[in-house]
Amino acid sequence: MEAKFCMNCGAEMESRDIDGTVRRACTVCTFVHWGNYSIGVGALVMNEGKILLVRRAQEPGKGRWTNPGGYIEQHELISDTIEREVMEEASVEAKVARLVAVRDLPRSIHNVYIAFEMEYIGGTPQPDGVEVDAAGFYSLEEMASMPVADFTKWLIDVALNSEGEGLLADKEPIVKMDGYGLFRTPAEPQR
């Protein structure tokens, strides 16, 4: 579906060449519709050698086991989103430890998915009863007989077999930028 009216002023939109790509642009103001995007986040929470999984109660993936996750809210930091989603879907408190993977899926709504390894803080897994109907910590051996989603299998492999520390939250950037969620590779030790 294409944008018909400007989200800024309400005027009609038209197709126009903007920097070599045909895009929907307002006929009155300077608004350009750059495309349709969604940003998802996923959590890899480990506790005593087991990984937190939830079983989807809705499509897509109904009946499949996945890592907890969801979509960011407009005015929410990505790290806050994933911590909220883990609590909402599984009643588990976890904090972001590192960013471990990014999936880029171009389609009609271009999806970017950011996966975080999370530090388990506490809580017994309980499903929310809406999005998920089961939740628990499972070993790789237990997962072998479960219908675990292929993408979740890939994420688990990435988290368990990645070298280095991944991207870590930059808690002390050289320039203070309130409201930013900043992640970076760890600094090399001074010699």
Query: Confidence class of residue 187 from pLDDT cuts 50, 70 and 90?
Result: confident
My answer on whether 51 and 137 are in the same domain is yes
Q: What is the mean pLDDT of residues 168-183?
A: 84
Residue 48: its pLDDT value, please? 96
* Residue 87 or residue 178, greater confidence: 87
Distance from C-alpha of 65 to C-alpha of 94, rounded to nearest angstrom: 19
Residue 190: its pLDDT value, please? 55
In a domain, 59, yes or no: yes
Distances (CA, A) of 188 to 52, 159, 185: 32, 22, 9
Residue 189: its pLDDT value, please? 61
**Number of folded domains that form the chain:** 2
Q: Rg of the Cα trace of the chain?
A: 20
Q: Can you give the CATH number for the domain in which 23 is found?
A: 2.20.70
Q: At 83, which helix (H) or strand (E)?
A: helix 78-90
Residue 183 token pair: 């992640």
Q: At 152, which helix (H) or strand (E)?
A: helix 150-161
Residue 108 token pair: 């009609």
* Residue 87 or residue 186, greater confidence: 87
Distance from C-alpha of 19 to C-alpha of 21, rounded to nearest angstrom: 6
Residue 162: its pLDDT value, please? 79
User: Three-class SS of residue 127?
Assistant: coil
Query: Confidence class of residue 153 from pLDDT cuts 50, 70 and 90?
Result: very high
Per DSSP, 164 falls in state S
In a domain, 173, yes or no: no
Range of the domain at 19: 1-35
Residue 186: its pLDDT value, please? 77
Q: What is the mean pLDDT of residues 86-113?
A: 93
My answer on whether 67 and 147 are in the same domain is yes
Distance from C-alpha of 149 to C-alpha of 88, rounded to nearest angstrom: 20
Residue 151 has pLDDT above 90, yes or no: yes
Amino acid (1-letter code) at residue 164: G
In a domain, 66, yes or no: yes
Distance from C-alpha of 82 to C-alpha of 59, rounded to nearest angstrom: 20
Q: What is the mean pLDDT of residues 81-108?
A: 94
